[in-house]
Amino acid sequence: MTLPTVTPVDLSQAPRLRASIDGKAKPLGALGRIEDLAARLALIAGERPLDRALLLVFAGDHGLTAEGVSAYPSSVTQAMVATFLAGKASANAFARAVGAELRVVDAGVDAELPSHPNLLAQKVRRGTRNAAVEPALTPEEVDRALEAGARIAREAAAEGFEILALGEMGIGNTASAALLMHRLAPAPLAECVGRGTGHDDAGLARKLAVLERAAARSDATEPAAVLAEFGGLEIAMMTGAVIGAASARIPVLVDGFIASAAALAAIRMVPAAQDYCVFCHRSAERGHQRMMAALEVEPLLDLGLRLGEGTGALLALPVVRAASRLISDVASLDDVLSGRL
């Protein structure tokens, strides 16, 4: 497997950037966490406005759905991909509202999808194997997914996108993400498993029992091995995209529980990738708060979302764009007081 090199941000520049922000025409610290975000974005991409944004929605199916871990059948993945491509999903509406482009990546949908201008055909295989009884992916399949994700992100940067937002679609993927969190946070499995697409108490208990069986199959803890055991081609490809975007020095807007599991895997593989991740919202899915604590991050928004698709990342995009303009566009207090405007 060949993944691009990620250079950590140059923290030696942080004091100078904080001094610049402190000297703006505002009371000291008056913009709260936006000031922290502005400094981080400048460390990532330089002291310039960041505008052009792309949301990549990675799609894939999961063999675990055969065990009843989701309240919906796998066929919904394909149906939702068609909905994205028709421009009618929540993510499409939000993307239009905030001026972001949206593309769907077929990482592993269990169907042959017709070509479409906004569909990136990167299918590694038609869905993962059933992780409750065998490894979801081979090491070679994981490598292909990681490399494809990194390549897609770097191509987006080369195309001129300045911000990359990550979303996903895959029935059963909260189950896969819970297993990844269990091993990579790490955290007790029961604290990682939530209701996903809307399980009742009986469904949640069944989901936990299935995941306990899957977890008992393997003691893998190394990130690529964990991805192979518990799968999620869309998650593995998102993991590669985090690393690829970080290597290209563009900020990565991380959505909710599943996208955060991909970011967690990327950070465990390449710790410097965390410098480039902006965690956008606190998901209502059980386990997300514990995952954020494991990464020692505080998401930007808390709106009770648990949809996925990149919707939380899109809602955070205007905040990120605004923060990127604090250093470049706001006058200093000295200039205001001296009349040099």
pLDDT at 203: 75
Q: What is the mean pLDDT of residues 197-210?
A: 82
pLDDT at 300: 98
User: How far apart are the C-alpha atoms of 237 and 186, rounded to whole Å?
Assistant: 21
Taken in order 37, 42, 45, 47, is the CA torsion positive or negative? positive
User: How far apart are the C-alpha atoms of 245 and 260, rounded to whole Å?
Assistant: 15
Tell me the domain boundaries of the chain. Answer: 11-47+326-338, 53-320
- pLDDT exceeds cutoff 90 at 1: no
- pLDDT exceeds cutoff 80 at 270: yes
pLDDT at 286: 87
| Residue 3, amino acid | L
Q: What is the mean pLDDT of residues 259-272?
A: 98
Which among 229, 234, 285, 309 is annotated as catalytic? 309
309 counts as catalytic: yes
- pLDDT exceeds cutoff 90 at 280: yes
pLDDT at 340: 81
Overall pTM > 0.85? yes
What percent of the chain lies above the pLDDT cut of 90? 92
Per the CB < 8 A criterion, the answer to whether 265 and 243 are in contact is: no
User: How far apart are the C-alpha atoms of 279 and 290, rounded to whole Å?
Assistant: 14
Architecture of the domain delimited by 53-320: 3-Layer(aba) Sandwich (3.40)
What's the mean pLDDT when you consider all of the chain? Answer: 96
pLDDT at 44: 98
- pLDDT exceeds cutoff 70 at 197: no
- Per-residue pLDDT tens digits for 42-91: 999 999 999 999 999 999 999 999 998 988 899 999 999 999 999 999 99
What percent of the chain lies above the pLDDT cut of 70? 99
- Per-residue pLDDT tens digits for 159-174: 999 999 999 999 999 9
Task: Give the list of residues 6+ apart from residue 62 with CB closer than 8 angstroms, or none.
Answer: 69, 74, 127, 128, 131, 136, 170, 171, 172, 173, 175, 176, 231, 232
Residue spans of beta strands (DSSP E) within the chain: 53-60, 101-108, 119-121, 163-169, 252-254, 277-279
Q: What is the mean pLDDT of residues 12-25?
A: 97
11-47+326-338 domain in CATH 1.20.120.1200?
A: no
- Per-residue pLDDT tens digits for 91-126: 999 999 999 999 999 999 999 999 999 999 999 999
